[in-house]
Amino acid sequence: VQLVESGGGLVQPGRSMRLSCAASGFTFRNYGMHWVRQAPGKGLEWVAVIWSDGNKKYGSNEYYTDSVTGRFTISRDNSKNTLFLQMTSLRAEDTAIYYCARDLDHWELDSWGQGTLVTVSS
C-alpha cells in the first residue's frame, strides 16, 4: 500500500487549494478514504471521509468535521486511483500537514501517506 499526497503549499486566506492523494498497491475503489490534518506542533484532527461506492455506511458517501463543513469537499476518481480534497475559503487555522489514509473496514485508518503541508498566510 502506498499513498502519496501532493498539492500543498502557501496560500492566502480566503483562497482555494486542491490536494491530491495518489494510491497504489491495493484496489482503491474498494476502500473508504480519509483526510486527517495536523497543525504544526499539535495533535491529529480528522477532516473528512469518503466511502467506497458499495459501502455507504451511514446513508451518505461523504462526511466532514464541523469546522470544514461547507468549505471543503472530498472526492475520488477511482479510474485514476486518486483521492482529492478541495479546500475553499481557507483560514489561518487550516494551516497543517494534511494526510490521506485508507479505511480498513469501518473507522480503522490502517495506511497513511507522508503528508503535504498547507500554509495559509498573507
Contact positions toward other proteins, by CB under 8 A? 34, 36, 43-46, 49, 63, 65-67, 99, 104, 106-115
Pair type for strands 72-77 and 82-87: antiparallel
Closer CB to other proteins, residue 54 or residue 106? 106
Dist CA 102 CA 110 (whole Å): 6
Cβ-contact 24, 81 below 8 angstroms = yes
Q: Shortest Cβ distance from residue 92 to other proteins (Å)?
A: 18
Closer CB to other proteins, residue 37 or residue 79? 37
Cβ-contact 100, 112 below 8 angstroms = yes
Closer CB to other proteins, residue 34 or residue 76? 34
What are the Cα distances from residue 103, in Å, to 20, 39, 54, 70, 115? 17, 22, 14, 23, 16
Closer CB to other proteins, residue 26 or residue 112? 112
Dist CA 119 CA 122 (whole Å): 10
Q: Shortest Cβ distance from residue 61 to other proteins (Å)?
A: 13
Q: Shortest Cβ distance from residue 32 to other proteins (Å)?
A: 11
Q: Shortest Cβ distance from residue 31 to other proteins (Å)?
A: 14
